[in-house]
Amino acid sequence: MLESMDHWQLRAALEWQAELGADEACLEAPVNRYEMPAKPAAAAKPAQAPQQVVPLHEEVGPDPVAEAKSAAARAPDLAALEAALAAFEHCELKLGARNLVFSDGNAAARLMVIGEAPGRDEDRAGKPFVGAAGQLLDKMLGAIDMARDATDAQQAVYITNILPWRPPQNRDPLPEEIDMMRPFIQRHIELIAPDVIILMGNIACDALLGKRGITRLRGTWAQAHDVPVMPMFHPAYLLRTPAAKREAWHDLLEIQAKLRS
């Protein structure tokens, strides 16, 4: 029969047998495919040194957020809060920054502005909002008769950021960095006790409202720590998108009306 089959027929027959599981041509004795293999005899184990006891729970370092909460809660005033931030060693941004950027303005102000993080100019000066975005912010506040250098609390402004240290290359703060700094900014708000807060940009909204999407959030009043807050476009965004200044002007008028009421 095999002599009458050509190459392709022989190959097809071989492939058919391979599909059936026939992978050996011949054996001396038949193989029971259902027989369980015999277990090899257990070899004598060499003597081993006694194993060390490994703890079930590996020791971890301190919780940065818990450390931040404790440090912030112990600060009785702004000077102590700034010192607590300066002594906080769990945020790596501190290693690459030139200065701690704490705040600027009148601590008795009714209006508090909270930005995202220092930029290059702020890192050099040690003050928030001193670059091009800061100059625009001053003009915006001046349009509603408010200023960071005003001595009258009714017209004064107090300015700070969520992060006190500049992120490298001005990147967005990481979630864990925001979590570490949130207790400090919460204590900051408690010590200033403003009547109104402006949240500049997505990072500030994320830290205090747990939300992002400034285009959707801006212009709508919210609450953070029992204080009315107004999310607004960051001045840096307004420099890149001048058409959005119209919405920013609307928000400023809302803030002015809230302060007067």
Res. 49 pLDDT band, cuts 50 70 90: low
pLDDT greater than 70 at residue 46: no
Res. 115 pLDDT band, cuts 50 70 90: very high
The answer to whether position 51 is within a domain reads no
CB 180 within 8 A of CB 91: yes
How far is 252 from 237, CA to CA, in rounded Å?
16
Q: Under the phi-then-psi rule, with left for phi > 0, alpha for psi from -120 to 50, and beta for the rest, what region is 21?
A: left
How far is 191 from 82, CA to CA, in rounded Å?
12
Closest CA to 84 of 176, 164, 8: 164
What integer pLDDT is reported at residue 10 of this predicted model? Answer: 73
Mean pLDDT for all residues in the chain: 89
Domain of residue 169: give its range: 64-260
The answer to whether position 226 is within a domain reads yes
The answer to whether position 87 is within a domain reads yes
Closest CA to 163 of 74, 232, 99, 251: 99
What integer pLDDT is reported at residue 225 of this predicted model? Answer: 93
For residues 21-38, b (16+ Cβ closer than 10 Å) or e, as one string? Answer: eeeeeeeeeeeeeeeeee
Structure-model confidence comparison of residues 199 and 27, the more confident one = 199
What integer pLDDT is reported at residue 237 of this predicted model? Answer: 97
Q: What are phi and psi of 64, to 5 degrees?
A: -60, -40
Which residues, 6 or more positions from 100, have their beta carbon under 8 angstroms from its beta carbon?
Answer: 82, 85, 86, 94, 126, 164, 165
The answer to whether position 233 is within a domain reads yes
Using CA of residue 80, residue 83, residue 87, residue 88, what is the dihedral sign?
Answer: positive
How far is 189 from 227, CA to CA, in rounded Å?
9
The answer to whether position 98 is within a domain reads yes
Mean of the pLDDT values across residues 18-38?
A: 64
The answer to whether position 197 is within a domain reads yes
- The 8-class DSSP code of residue 195 comes to S
| pTM of the predicted structure, to 2 decimals | 0.76
The answer to whether position 42 is within a domain reads no
Using a 10 angstrom Cβ sphere, with 0-12 exposed, 13-18 middle and 19 or more buried, the burial of residue 20 is exposed
The answer to whether position 171 is within a domain reads yes
Residue 202 CB coordination number (10 Å): 20
The pLDDT tens digits of the residues spanning 79-101 come to 999 999 999 999 999 999 999 99
Domain count within the chain: 1
pLDDT greater than 90 at residue 19: no
What integer pLDDT is reported at residue 255 of this predicted model? Answer: 98
How far is 192 from 204, CA to CA, in rounded Å?
17
CATH code of residue 138: 3.40.470.10
